[in-house]
Structure 1
Amino acid sequence: MKTLVLGASTNKERYSYKAIHSLVDKSHQVVAIGAKKGIAFDIPIEKEKVDFHGIDTVTLYLNPKIQEEYYDYIVSLKPRRVIFNPGTENPEFYKILEKNKIEYEVACTLVLLATNQY
């Protein structure tokens, strides 16, 4: 199962950075897109919308306004689910995902991983 961390950062204080660390630590395949290119835990952070294949989960670390430019991109990846981490809740996007038969969860990726519910 491959996870896309959207809103990834190389800043150790950011939750997206901590999520990449936890995902890698638990042997999940990870790809990442952020505002700036970089590397976190040997995972390259891309700046462009890369056509990744086999994405199971998209975990969001973008505020709802910024998410808008990613709606079509995320739907095009055909993930099984999208996780809306705290602060990313977006009822408008929930409707788009439902229409495209993509599951979503309002949850914290770090908590899901820590409690083996990921």
Structure 2
Amino acid sequence: MGKRTLVIGASENPARYSNRAILALRSNQHEVVALAKRKGLVEDVVIETTFPTGEDVHTVTLYVGPQHQPGYYTDILKLKPQRVIFNPGTENPEFAVMLEANGIKAEEACTLVLLSIGNY
């Protein structure tokens, strides 16, 4: 199995990039944990509304703007992923500094592009 990935800001809407990312991650054999304000389902991936605890997550990929991220800071730091991907529009220098200070790589990138070029 690939890198277990937490998608924050997941959406059932096929037009949303978070939805496309879930599908692309799954088609590249990565396990997906999805989180959003509303429960839902993207193929076989259940969108949860409570932050996962005790999960061994390699990567967190953000699809929520910086104004909505502070509520996730503590939970993400506790999760201790190897990296957090700030997708376009989610860039947050304040949080990136906090992540790096805790030994977590902060990466400004696009999950879909990383997957498409085999660089995930």
- Structure 1 length-normalised TM: 0.98
- C-alpha RMSD of matched pairs (Å): 0.7
- In the aligned structure 1, how far is the partner of 2:24 from the partner of 2:48? 19
* Greater strand fraction, Structure 1 or Structure 2: 1
- Unaligned 5+ segments in structure 2 are none
Aligned residues: 118
Residue equivalent to 1:11: 13
Deviation digits for residues 68-104 of structure 1 (CA, Å, limit 9, x no counterpart) = 1000010110000000000000001011101111001
Aligned match of 1:91 in 67, 90, 93? 93
Give matches, 1:61-80, under 5 Å: 61-80=63-82
* Identity rate, percent: 52
TM-score (norm 2): 0.96
**Deviation for aligned residue 1:50:** 2.0
* Runs of 4+ with deviation above 2 angstroms: none
- Note the residue ranges of structure 1 that are not aligned, 5 or more in a row: none
Q: Which residue is 1:46 aligned to?
A: 48
Q: Which amino acid aligns with 2:51?
A: K
Match of residue 116 from structure 2:
114
Distance 1:66 1:92 in 2: 13
